[in-house]
């Protein structure tokens, strides 16, 4: 009997972003960039924070505005190849790869998981 396995993120990156070159407003519906944690309110995705913080560090720049504006203004991010995630695929295999690798797969289930857990990283870049 075949088991139905749902594609899901099985490891969220853990890190401290104190001292990183970013000062962000609290995430909410207005400042965008956050996602709702039922029962807790709004929060930034750890994946989005890690992608942004690493990219700012790589570029030697800083950011002090809404996080969604930064993602729209920086569509090509080298840091996505340095942020690794573990995703349980629908074939019941745990795959540990970079965000850029998962995006390049163009697998609908993997992209759904990424959009749910890293909404800004998966946003299409638009210059503001």
Beta-carbon contacts of residue 83 (< 8 Å; ≥ 6 apart): 13, 47, 50, 51, 54, 98, 99
Nearest alpha carbon to residue 97 among 81, 111, 77, 108? 81
Global pTM reads 0.84
Write the pLDDT tens digit of every residue in 30-55. Answer: 666 777 777 888 888 889 999 999 99
Cβ(48)–Cβ(67) under 8 Å?
yes
Each domain of the chain, given as residue ranges in start order, spans 8-12+26-117
Each residue's pLDDT tens digit, 57-98: 999 999 998 898 999 999 899 999 999 999 998 788 899 999
């Amino acid at each position: 009997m075949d088991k139905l396995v749902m594609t899901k993120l099985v490891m969220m990156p853990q890190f401290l972003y104190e001292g990183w070159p970013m000062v962000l407003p609290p995430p909410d519906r207005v400042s965008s960039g956050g996602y709702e944690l039922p029962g807790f309110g709004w929060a930034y995705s750890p994946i989005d924070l890690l992608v942004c913080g690493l990219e700012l560090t790589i570029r030697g720049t800083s950011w002090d505005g809404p996080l969604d504006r930064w993602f729209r203004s920086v569509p090509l991010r080298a840091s996505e190849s340095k942020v690794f995630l573990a995703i349980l695929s629908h074939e019941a295999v745990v795959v540990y790869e970079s965000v850029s690798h998962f995006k390049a797969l163009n697998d609908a289930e993997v992209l759904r998981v990424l959009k749910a857990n890293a909404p800004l990283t998966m946003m299409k870049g638009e210059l503001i």
